[in-house]
């Protein structure tokens, strides 16, 4: 694994400097763009790393995966009455489909979908953001994981678009709690800071039929795990999901903080981090690194 990571790192590092960090909130715009790290966690729990793999960064939309898993644990199949499982083909924060489709978001990984999931978790947990924080701490075996208040507050200040989609869903009867309260939980989740090592460990149950070696817990059943991986493969990269399937061929989830987690079912989970994004909002180096990975291991879920 280590020599594979070293090879990928060497291959991709010349691209450092391309792309643009997310600037839709000031707290993210100030992140140092010249960072690049990768961590792999295999199904025996071995970790391999290269570059800035231990640097905590804003997990942003990668939180949607863990948020969804928490909701699946509580709601099971009922969850799919409130959110669909189709790719959207549109940017992560688009509002247009939501009106046509009566306030039922296309999937849990676009913002509207993640907001409905957050609404469900809000109804279930006394303190949804602490439930989420403790969940990722358990999965990563790292009790120091915390959310960055600055980022969460900054997102809340610039919440108009997310608030608009939540209110639209409320108008359609697909939102139970106070919008502003749910937004606070959602932004807190996005503002959690984790390293590539934390995220590779946290996502490892997805490669291991739902079992987390770190937490020593069955997180999802094997069939729920397959379903989450299918959703990640079809919708985890927003409107670049098709290209990701074509180039990389793995279930994956990106965040505007520059992280991407991907899963090689039955073998390992991987997290790549580099803050500069391509025009679709996915880490430019992260895409390149994962493309190189699947080329080297000569493997794809397809
Ligand atoms: N917190 C971000 C938002 O709601 C998450 C977006 C992302 O990572 N794609 O806009």
Q: Which residue has the tokens 């580099």?
A: 274
CB 128 within 8 A of CB 118: yes
Looking at domain 2-297, its CATH architecture is 3-Layer(aba) Sandwich (3.40)
pLDDT of residue 89: 86
Does residue 39 have a pLDDT over 90? yes
Q: What is the pTM of this model?
A: 0.96
Residue pair 37/55 in contact (Cβ under 8 Å)? The answer is yes
Any ligand 1 atom below 6 A from CB of 291: no
pLDDT at 299: 82
What pLDDT, on the 0 to 100 scale, is given for residue 96? Answer: 93
Name the pLDDT band for 227 (thresholds 50, 70, 90): very high
Q: Whose CA is nearest to atom 4 of ligand 1?
A: 111
Condensed to tens digits (0 to 9), the pLDDT of residues 121-144 reads 999 999 999 999 999 999 999 999
**CA gap 186, 240 in Å, rounded:** 23
% of the chain at pLDDT higher than 90: 93
Residue 92 — pLDDT band, cuts 50, 70, 90? confident
- A 10 A CB-CB count for 32 gives 10
Catalytic residues: 61, 64, 186, 238, 256
What is the Å distance from ligand 1's center to 252 Cα?
Answer: 16
How many CB atoms lie under 10 A from the CB of residue 104?
18
- What per-residue confidence (pLDDT) applies to 112? 97
Residue 42's closest CA among 234, 217, 197, 272?
A: 197
When pLDDT is cut at 50, 70 and 90, the band that residue 186 belongs to is very high
For residue 201, give the H/E element and its range: helix 196-202
Identify the residue whose C-alpha is closest to ligand 1 atom 3.
111
Give CA separation, 140 vs 9, 66, 124, 135, 136, in Å: 24, 12, 23, 9, 6
What are the domain boundaries of the chain? 2-297
């Amino acid at each position: 694994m280590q020599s594979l990571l070293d090879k990928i790192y060497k291959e991709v590092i010349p691209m450092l400097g391309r792309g643009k960090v997310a600037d839709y909130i000031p707290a993210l715009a100030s992140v140092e763009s010249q960072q690049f790290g990768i961590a792999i966690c295999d199904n025996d729990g071995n970790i391999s790393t290269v570059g800035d793999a231990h640097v905590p960064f804003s997990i942003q939309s990668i939180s949607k995966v863990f948020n969804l898993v928490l909701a699946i644990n509580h709601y099971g199949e009922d969850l799919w009455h409130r959110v669909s499982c189709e790719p959207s083909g549109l940017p992560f924060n688009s509002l247009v489909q939501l009106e046509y489709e009566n306030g039922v978001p296309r999937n849990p990984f676009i913002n509207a979908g993640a907001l409905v999931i957050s609404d469900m978790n809000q109804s279930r947990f006394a303190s949804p953001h602490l439930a989420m924080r403790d969940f990722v701490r358990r999965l990563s075996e790292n009790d120091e994981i915390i959310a960055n208040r600055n980022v969460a507050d900054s997102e809340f200040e610039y919440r108009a678009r997310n608030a608009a989609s939540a209110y639209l869903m409320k108008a359609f009867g697909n939102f139970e709690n106070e919008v502003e309260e749910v937004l606070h939980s959602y932004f807190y989740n996005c503002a959690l800071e984790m390293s590539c090592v934390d995220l590779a460990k946290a996502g490892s149950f997805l490669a291991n039929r739902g079992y987390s070696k770190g937490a020593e817990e069955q997180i999802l059943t094997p069939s729920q795990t397959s379903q989450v991986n299918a959703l990640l493969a079809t919708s985890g990269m927003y409107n670049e999901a098709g290209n990701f399937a074509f180039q990389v061929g793995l279930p994956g989830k990106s965040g505007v903080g520059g992280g991407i987690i991907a899963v090689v079912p039955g073998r390992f989970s991987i997290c790549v981090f580099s803050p500069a994004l391509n025009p679709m909002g996915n880490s430019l180096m992260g895409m390149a690194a994962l493309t190189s990975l699947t080329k080297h291991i000569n493997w794809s879920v397809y």
